[in-house]
Chain A
Amino acid sequence: MHAFAYCRPAALADALRELAADAEARPLAGGQTLLPVMRARLAAPSRLVDLARVRELTGIAAAPGGLRLGAMETHAAIAEHPAVKRLAPALARLAGGIGDPQVRNRGTIGGSLANNDPAACYPAALLALGAAIETDRRTLAAEDFFTGLFATALAPGELVVAVQVPAAPAAAYVKFPQPASRFALVGAFVLRTEAGYRVAITGGGMGVFRWTEAEAALDSGATGADLAGVPLDPELFTGDLHASARYRRALARVAVARALADPAFAA
């Protein structure tokens, strides 16, 4: 790891000032991605602004219509929180399946969203749920926030503050984990509301996306078994040593079908 300066502000305004003062500074959330990346010398920030004590970034609470999750809340905290389990049980289970217990005890939702790994779990949930991402200066719809591979709408020095998640009783997430990293080889988050189905796929390789053709088919009465014939753009999938693009695309159909078989959709 290259040398860097370190600071640990206690207030959001101070963290933003530190980031604004140095274009090469990076915020440090749980560090479960950033620190390994720095150790591999794939990133060499001049300064780390540790967000661990920034009080405005914490808290999990029921909010009008759903939940508000502070950016620095860990996967473990979200997985175990009674309000999340009650209002968005699929999101709690998703959080409880990220990485491994030790990673879940450190990794944060804000860090995961800002990183937007194309195989991360949260982006699929937020896109399907129609969640909103609060930053220090604006609120963005999930579909405007995730802009591509490891890319988001965040401006330099802009921090995720919290995530607003609508209550979602009828939803499920199914992922095929890559066995070593436990990232999604492919994951599918399916939501059903009065307005219809929403289906988001992560792990394809080009970044999270909504499978709108499947949503339309399900709205018209199709079932998981019918998804084999529903168009799914091959350009949204790439191959690597873990899985070919064709295999990932096939897994996406299976993941959605399995999600639809979740008891959450029985009612």
Chain B
Amino acid sequence: MEMRLEVNGTAHRLDLPERTLLVHALRDQLRLTGTHIGCDTSQCGACTVHLDGVAVKSCTMLAVQAEGRRITTIEGLAKDGALHPMQLAFHIHHGLQCGYCTPGMIMAGLDIVRRHPRPDLGTIRAELEGNLCRCTGYHNIIRAIAAGAEAMAAAATGERPGEGQGQ
């Protein structure tokens, strides 16, 4: 069936079977391969994207269900070649080992900041329940999300991020 998807601000018209999952439309049709398939059973969160700014698992959603909604993938975060503050925080704090879970962690991290603008470490741990890191590198992921949140708050208020944020 024909469906229209808005991904990272660009409108696409695709002709796909009804049963096509959103993650497959993104990866196989639009070649946005930053969204990963980890467990394929809605456990691991590697496929996390934003739907109207809210984190969802794109392996547990049909592409056609995203019609009329704004989809944002990891590729949609950087602006004019500059990393998003959350991406930069993962880079600075080495919030990754093999990197496979990273796109999902960053998209989930942004959803945490949406709900908790300055989350403490306990909140981040609890809110990352839907994202698994098989390298078990959670400590730096959690630090990166906390630092990313600080950087986003600072950017929003025009402050410079504190020296202690690992800049």
Instruction: Give the B-binding residues of A (Cβ under 8 A).
Output: 1-6, 8, 28, 31-32, 35-36, 39, 48, 50, 52, 76, 80, 99-103, 105-106, 180-182
With A32-B60, A102-B130 given, name 10 new contacts (CB 8 A): A32-B42, A35-B60, A36-B41, A39-B40, A48-B18, A80-B115, A101-B129, A103-B60, A105-B54, A181-B43
Question: Which residues of A have CB within 8 Å of B25?
Answer: none
Question: Which residues of B have CB within 8 Å of A4?
Answer: 18-19
Does more than half of chain B's interface fall in helix, strand or loop, or is it mixed? mixed
Report which of A8, A35, A36, A99 forms a contact with B130, defined as CB distance below 8 A: A99
Contact A3 B18 (CB under 8 A): yes
Among B7-15, B61-69, B75-83, B147-155, the stretch in contact with A: B61-69
In the bound complex, CA of A31 to CA of B22 (Å) = 13
Contact A101 B62 (CB under 8 A): no
In the bound complex, CA of A52 to CA of B57 (Å) = 17
Q: Report the tally of A-B residue pairs with Cβ distances under 8 A.
A: 72
Report which of B48, B61, B129 forms a contact with A182, defined as CB distance below 8 A: B129
Question: Which residues of A have CB within 8 Å of B19?
Answer: 1-4
B1: Cβ under 8 A from any A Cβ:
yes
What distance in Å separates the Cβ of A242 from its nearest Cβ neighbour in chain B?
15
Contact B65 A52 (CB under 8 A): yes
- Identify the closest chain B residue to A182 (Cβ): B129
Report which of A6, A36, A80, A102 forms a contact with B62, defined as CB distance below 8 A: A6
In the bound complex, CA of A31 to CA of B61 (Å) = 7
* 15 A-B pairs (CB sep. < 8 Å): A3-B17, A4-B18, A31-B60, A31-B62, A32-B60, A36-B41, A36-B60, A99-B130, A100-B45, A100-B130, A101-B127, A102-B55, A102-B111, A103-B60, A105-B51
In the bound complex, CA of A80 to CA of B114 (Å) = 13
Question: Which residues of B have CB within 8 Å of A32?
Answer: 42, 60
- Identify the closest chain B residue to A32 (Cβ): B60
In the bound complex, CA of A102 to CA of B16 (Å) = 25
Question: Which residues of B have CB within 8 Å of A105?
Answer: 51, 54-56, 111
In the bound complex, CA of A5 to CA of B19 (Å) = 8
In the bound complex, CA of A181 to CA of B42 (Å) = 9
Contact B64 A6 (CB under 8 A): yes
Contact B61 A35 (CB under 8 A): yes
Question: Which residues of A have CB within 8 Å of B1?
Answer: 6
In the bound complex, CA of A76 to CA of B130 (Å) = 14
With A6-B62, A101-B55, A101-B108 in contact, do A36 and B42 touch (Cβ < 8 Å)? yes
Question: Which residues of A have CB within 8 Å of B62?
Answer: 6, 31, 35, 48
In the bound complex, CA of A36 to CA of B55 (Å) = 18
In the bound complex, CA of A2 to CA of B19 (Å) = 8
- Identify the closest chain A residue to B54 (Cβ): A105
Question: Which residues of A have CB within 8 Å of B40?
Answer: 39
- Identify the closest chain A residue to B43 (Cβ): A180
In the bound complex, CA of A28 to CA of B60 (Å) = 12
Question: Which residues of B have CB within 8 Å of A80?
Answer: 115
- Identify the closest chain A residue to B104 (Cβ): A102
> Considering residues A31, A32, A99, A101, which has the most beta carbons from chain B within 10 angstroms of its beta carbon?
A101
Question: Which residues of A have CB within 8 Å of B60?
Answer: 31-32, 35-36, 103, 106
